[in-house]
Amino acid sequence: MHPLILLALLQVGNVGAQHAAPLPQNAAPPQSHPTTCYEVFVRSFYDSNGDGIGDLPGLTQKLDYISGLGADCVWLMPIAESPSYHGYDVTDYYKVEPDYGTNDDFKAFVAAAHQHKIRVLVDLVLNHTSSEHPWFQEALRDTTAPHRGWYRWAPTQGGACPNNWHKSPVRDECYFGLFWSGMPDLNYENPAVLDEMKRVARVWLDSMHVDGFRLDAVRHLVEVGNEVSNTPGTHQVLRDFGQYVRGIAPQSYTIGEVWDNPDVILTYYPDQLDAYFAFPISEALIEAVRTGKAGGLLPTVEQFQRAEPAYRWAPFQRNHDQTRAMTALANDTAGARLAVTILLTLPGVPFVYYGEEIGMTGDKPDERLRTPMQWTASSRGFTSGKPWETLQADTLTANVAAQERRPNSLLKLYRWLMRLRGNDAALRDGRLEPVETGNDALLAYMRKDGTAQVLVVANLGTTPATLAVPGRFSYRSLLTAGRTRASLPTLQPRTAYIYEITQRP
Ligand SMILES: [Ca+2]
Ligand SMILES: [Ca+2]
């Protein structure tokens, strides 16, 4: 039985099993959700043919590495045909970007991933297309074109276009594009647009065999006047789309990007996408490690936990739009170790951004957040040719090969924690209960399922600390070998501990 179901039954049991109430709608059994998901930028992962661009055959060759980490899921940033390096402006939703390979290369990748027991989520960009998409090009040139109504048009005002609108290059009119002129927004007030995106989803699920989607910028789907975020129409599109995908692929997983505060994110449940990224947890986590103060981290986690089952929200450190974690932590390796130990012991479905596991650095502009994976001390580990983007200089020291050789490297810690999470039901699915420490530099929480409990303690501060947990327990470390203890040791500065604890008589 799944622990979440057991937990639900135990709770029902508390109020009298003979009057068991039906489970609330949002506590439906999860469809075997991922344990830990690894975000990959294909262009920067591994180049198989020496053109300097990472590709699908290269990614396929690195599946042993990803499964060796302990990930059972990958999210691939956009892989559909696109004129840009990042792929968030699509020109053909049904075709793999030629830089990355062919549709057959993608199918071969998915088959190999499934042999590694890794599910594949692909980025799906619903909000906008590329301005070079044939739909938009036809609509731009011909006001009677079939796809004219798939975009939003308006007359110019005194020859100019208002904020978020862009001047047509062919006539005196404006079109709407929230992000930039190269990304015209699709018009979801036209039902044909959503119908088309359902066809796209079906093809990727049925013919390409993906296991789900990461959905980009979903809070911006439908505009009302000047309101461009979180409108009722946006919720309705997601409700419709989520229901459609669950209907044709009940085992799939959809996760949306709603980069907003917790109260707003929670309005996207219970009946829209399966899950959303927990941006507020990410921010509180990095902030806690950076400042040495637990601050709002656990209250934020509890806010999500109270509202929704853990498989429906995804904590992470950083993604492809944000300063990399190691850079945000000012190159503090102890901080990076604290951050991942906390991340991978929180409830939810944690996501790891490629390269985080070796402490890759990077700051804006965006290209520098998405540099090639540092397999070895030079770019030769990524490509035999000239890399599409220069690697970070610290590939000399921060690389997979070096960390494979070093005991206790960051890479080995990630591997240990990801596998631990996969094998420990309390860590994977248990509820989080904060432990009062009376010290803001000391973060402590229990993870409990029906049978086991795990205690996580992180001393975020720079001085040693102690913590007395009420009750008589035995402590068995899940991070290091060693004897079972009767109490916690002195908690060293900038160090985290994980113990399985059992009641002593
Ligand atoms: Ca290539
Ligand atoms: Ca939009």
In angstroms, the CA 489 to CA 159 distance is 72
Q: In the annotation, is 89 catalytic?
A: no
pLDDT digits (tens, 9 = 90+) for 349-365: 999 999 999 999 999 99
**DSSP of 35-73, one letter per residue?**
SSEEEE-GGGT--SSSSSS--HHHHHHTHHHHHHHT-SE
Element (H, E) at 122: strand 119-124
Residues around ligand 1, an ion, CB closer than 5 A? 47, 49, 51, 53, 55
Given this model, what pLDDT does residue 93 score? 98
pLDDT digits (tens, 9 = 90+) for 338-347: 999 999 999 9
Q: Cα of 192 to ligand 2 centre, how many Å?
A: 15
Given this model, what pLDDT does residue 505 score? 84
Give yes or no for a contact between 133 and 88, defined as CB atoms under 8 angstroms apart: no
Q: Cα of 385 to ligand 1 centre, how many Å?
A: 9
In angstroms, the CA 108 to CA 105 distance is 5
Q: Give the start-to-end residue ranges of the domains of the chain.
A: 1-30, 34-127+191-427, 134-176, 431-503
> What angle do the packed helices 279-291 and 297-307 form, to 10 degrees?
160
Give backbone dihedrals phi and psi of 200, rounded to 5 degrees, phi first. -60, -50
In angstroms, the CA 310 to CA 27 distance is 10
pLDDT digits (tens, 9 = 90+) for 97-146: 999 999 999 999 999 999 999 999 999 999 999 999 999 999 999 999 99
pLDDT (average), residues 23-33? 49
Whether the per-residue pLDDT at 5 is higher than 50: the answer is no
431-503 placed in CATH 3.40.190.150 = no
Model confidence, pTM: 0.93
Instruction: Catalytic residue, from 138, 173, 216, 240: name it.
Output: 216
Q: Could you count the other beta carbons within 10 Å of the beta carbon of residue 251? A: 12
Q: Is 310 helix (H, G, I), strand (E, B) or coil?
A: helix
Q: Is 213 helix (H, G, I), strand (E, B) or coil?
A: strand
Whether the per-residue pLDDT at 40 is higher than 80: the answer is yes
pLDDT (average), residues 330-336? 98
Given this model, what pLDDT does residue 58 score? 98
User: At CA 425, angle to CA 423 and CA 429, rounded to 5?
Assistant: 125
Instruction: Mean pLDDT check: name the lowest of 9-13, 78-82, 254-258, 398-402.
Output: 9-13
Q: In the annotation, is 367 catalytic?
A: no
pLDDT digits (tens, 9 = 90+) for 430-473: 999 999 999 999 999 999 998 899 999 999 999 999 999 988 99
In angstroms, the CA 92 to CA 247 distance is 25
Instruction: Catalytic residue, from 257, 308, 356, 429: name it.
Output: 257
Per CATH, the number for 34-127+191-427 is 3.20.20.80
Summary mean pLDDT of the chain: 93
CA 187, 189, 192, 196 torsion: positive or negative? positive
pLDDT digits (tens, 9 = 90+) for 396-430: 999 999 999 999 999 999 999 999 999 999 999 99
